[in-house]
Amino acid sequence: MAKTDTKGETARSSRASSRTTSTAASRPARRATSAKTETPYHHGALREALLQAAERVLERDGLAGLTLRAVAREAGVSHAAPTHHFGDLTGLLSELAAVGFRQFNAAMASACDTATTPLERALARPKAYVAYAQVHPGMYGIMFRTERLDYSRPSLHEAAEASFAGLANAIGMMRQEQISGDALTLNQGAAIARAWSMVHGFTTLLLDGRLKDILERLPEGTTAERLLEAMLTAPITTKLPM
Amino acid sequence: MAKTDTKGETARSSRASSRTTSTAASRPARRATSAKTETPYHHGALREALLQAAERVLERDGLAGLTLRAVAREAGVSHAAPTHHFGDLTGLLSELAAVGFRQFNAAMASACDTATTPLERALARPKAYVAYAQVHPGMYGIMFRTERLDYSRPSLHEAAEASFAGLANAIGMMRQEQISGDALTLNQGAAIARAWSMVHGFTTLLLDGRLKDILERLPEGTTAERLLEAMLTAPITTKLPM
DNA sequence: CTCCCTATCTTTACATCGTAAAGATCGGAT
DNA sequence: ATCCGATCTTTACGATGTAAAGATAGGGAG
């Protein structure tokens, strides 16, 4: 009776107890979270270790492979260990998305630094946006897969908010107006929504393979980045963007 | 010893066999798929019944509740019945997405008919696009949740392709060029990508609640539709859309 | 030093899900 | 009438999320 859950899920020793101090060693070699191996043995940095394991699993097996148990397996702990740190699958995904938003913000910021001409400055952010999504498709997928996230978590809320604020600021700067904290005119809101919708929509469609049809019909060897550039700079001939 | 799957999953009689013709009756009242109760008893139109059940489950319980077993339950059949018609969860989702694309195409087509002025004609499609997503958020979610779909299925491929062709045609018509079947200039591709990205991105952000921050800061009572309109018609002051 | 308390991790258990395989049922062709 | 193939049901199994109880430290209070 009850034959479930009885195949060596963790494959760890879990013996050799009986009090011997057992500070280091006897552990299957942690993966050197940072330099110098702070917290070398098991206790201490499980939370971060799990997040890094989750990122690894996500990039290796995609969204479908990103399960609580797979992450625990990757980190070398029991399948219920993540519960104590994240409470929930939603909790883990939310914290991982927060990590993604912080990576994303850093990438956007550094992209703006290297730009020189006004045109380059204007194109740097959109390009960095798409580039991040192409390099980290799994992360981008999580960050905008809202139904599995909990935005009441402060870390996620703050990181995502910073992302939005950076975008709004960039738009405002380009229009040579400062965006006052609270209110927006309709035209300001429209400019922000247009820019964000365009870049986010392009990225989503690109990652979903929806732009393949278009790219194939363009002149030989046109890259997605080139199409993005044209999309942002080409003259608008119809008075309406659509 | 194997105590799984033994709680009345279907709750159907499944007795009373022994040959009595048993054409109609003895069934828990089907939900009247169309008028006059065609195929009143069990056999016959299970495939369509399952698709309708799936749509119902999706609108009631959201994407998370849309499982093979839930659909079977909703349709009043055993949990393995869908397998024979769709093979797979991916199969069911793909066929359901195809239904969605057909609904979507119909909505877009009928929206263009009722427009009179040129401006109305230009705004009809985007508005219908967003409106469909707002009325059928679950369907829209499935249609663009690529990782769970199989585009090699003809029904899905055709319906989605028709959707794209309609969009490309509308853009071409607006630019007063006909889009030749094969090739596209960079500017043509850019125009299509811009329009699609803008509307799709706006829709996605809106459904994910990402535009709430913007909408709240706009003049009192500005709706999403009004923001969309402004986004599509407001003057572009920076020479770059972003 | 000993004892106990709390945070952390492991075990065990269970409901649910997707899917495969074998059994039942029914309509229609031979 | 009988057999066959399509359709549906049963049964079974591995995997997952989650809850609950047991184990294992590390760190104070006495």
Cut 0.95: pTM above it = no
Q: Which residues of B touch A219 (CB under 8 A)?
A: 185-186
- Nearest by CB to A218, which of B174, B189, B234? B189
CATH 2.60.40 fits domain A41-87: no
Residue A68's region, left for phi above 0, alpha for psi from -120 to 50, else beta, is alpha
pLDDT digits (tens, 9 = 90+) for A10-58: 444 433 333 333 333 333 333 333 333 333 336 678 999 999 999 999 9
Which positions 15-34 of A are in contact with B (Cβ < 8 Å)?
none
Q: Which residues of A touch B235 (CB under 8 A)?
A: 187
- Domain boundaries A88-229, CATH class: mainly alpha
Note down pLDDT in tens along chain A; length 242 residues: 434 454 445 444 433 333 333 333 333 333 333 333 333 336 678 999 999 999 999 999 999 999 999 999 999 999 999 999 999 999 999 999 999 999 999 999 999 888 788 888 889 999 999 999 999 999 999 999 899 999 999 999 999 999 999 999 898 888 877 666 678 999 999 999 999 999 999 999 999 999 999 999 999 999 999 999 999 997 776 656 55
> What's the rounded Cα separation, in Å, for the pair B143 and B125?
18
> What's the rounded Cα separation, in Å, for the pair A189 and B229?
11
Coil, helix or strand at residue B43: coil
The domains of chain B are located at: 41-87, 88-229
Residue B6, min C-alpha distance to chain A (Å) = 14
Q: Quick check: A71 and A113 in contact, CB under 8 A?
A: no
- Nearest by CB to A205, which of B3, B63, B200? B200
Dihedral of CA A72/A76/A80/A83: which sign?
negative
- Catalogue the E-assigned strands of chain B: none
Residue A182, min C-alpha distance to chain B (Å) = 6
Q: Nearest nt (C1') to A12 (CA)? A: C10
Residue B172, min C-alpha distance to chain A (Å) = 10
Does the CB of B212 have a partner CB in chain A at under 8 Å? no
CB contact under 8 A, A190 and B240: no
Using CA atoms, how far residue A106 sits from A93, A158, B192, in Å, is 20, 14, 31
* Neighbour tally for B18: CB within 10 Å: 6
Using CA atoms, how far residue A63 sits from A88, A148, A205, B211, in Å, is 16, 12, 17, 25
CA angle A232, A234, A239 (to 5 degrees): 100
